[in-house]
Amino acid sequence: MRAGLTRALLHPVAKPALFLLCLAPLAWLFYGAAANQLGANPAEALIRRLGDWTLRGLWLTLAVTPLRELTGLAALARFRRMLGVFSFTYASLHLLAYGWLDMGLDFGEIARDIAKRPFILMGFTAWTLMLPLAATSFNRAIKALGAPRWRALHRAVYAIAVIALMHFIWMRAGKHNFAEPAVYGVILAALLGWRLWKRPSAKRG
């Protein structure tokens, strides 16, 4: 069974299929906006759902390595960068939707909002930290930086995930709705716990 899954993951169609899957939520959101199917407050719905898909993309990116090691499917590693780039894409669209639909692209007002509201500051910080990761997510960047430095830089994704979760928690705090952030928190704790557990064995190796 593992051999069959490996062949499927290495198939030339696998990456285009993942690309289309990652694009599908965005296509659905654009359709929903055009067809007026995003509810009574479409701007807020668009901003929130783009943020949701940013978190899902980040968590899936972090889950690739544990899943690869637990299942023995080394071919899963080839999808990690694509998932990371899509996470950044959704984060950028989330930020753009906030700046455009919420703030009317008034950059002075946006700057004041970032300084005034902690959850906006956390979201902007997470996006800013994602920038160098997205900019170095290509083979040329790996060669230019060298693999050890590239890996060290991209470990920042764990800090980004924590900051993004804080952004989500504080955003929901106004309505005292912590059920969904708690689910994301448990999953992230498991992913971070796995990494901490593996680190000593990696050092011994």
What would the mean pLDDT of 169-175 be, rounded to a whole number? 83
pLDDT digits (tens, 9 = 90+) for 85-127: 999 999 999 999 999 999 999 999 999 999 999 999 999 999 9
Taking alpha carbons only, the member of 58, 62, 112 closest to residue 90 is 58
Task: Give the global pTM.
Answer: 0.92
Rounded to whole angstroms, the Cα distance separating 203 from 205 reads 5
Rounded to whole angstroms, the Cα distance separating 98 from 8 reads 39
Q: Counting runs of H as helices and runs of E as strands, what totals does the chain give?
A: 10, 0
Q: What percentage of the chain reaches a pLDDT higher than 70?
A: 97
Residue 74 has pLDDT above 60, yes or no: yes
Rounded to whole angstroms, the Cα distance separating 140 from 130 reads 18
Taking alpha carbons only, the member of 81, 120, 86 closest to residue 102 is 120
- Which domain, by its residues, includes 179? 2-204
pLDDT of residue 200: 60
Average pLDDT, the chain: 90
Rounded to whole angstroms, the Cα distance separating 98 from 117 reads 13
Residue 14 has pLDDT above 90, yes or no: yes
Rounded to whole angstroms, the Cα distance separating 24 from 126 reads 24
Residue 177 has pLDDT above 80, yes or no: no
pLDDT digits (tens, 9 = 90+) for 131-152: 999 999 888 888 888 888 888 8
- Number of compact structural domains in the chain: 1
Of residues 127 and 7, the one with the higher pLDDT is 127
Residue 115 one-letter amino acid: A
Rounded to whole angstroms, the Cα distance separating 55 from 61 reads 10
Helices 179-204, 42-71: inter-axial angle, 10-degree rounding: 30
Residue 38 has pLDDT above 80, yes or no: yes
Residue 25 has pLDDT above 60, yes or no: yes
Q: Which residue has the tokens 């309505």?
A: 175
Give the C-alpha distances (Å, rounded to integers) separating 166 from 27, 49, 79, 161: 27, 17, 26, 9
What are the b/e assignments for 109-137, b being 16+ CB within 10 Å? ebeebeeeeebbbbbbbbbeebeebbebb
Residue 98: burial class (beta carbons within 10 Å; 0-12, 13-18, 19+): buried
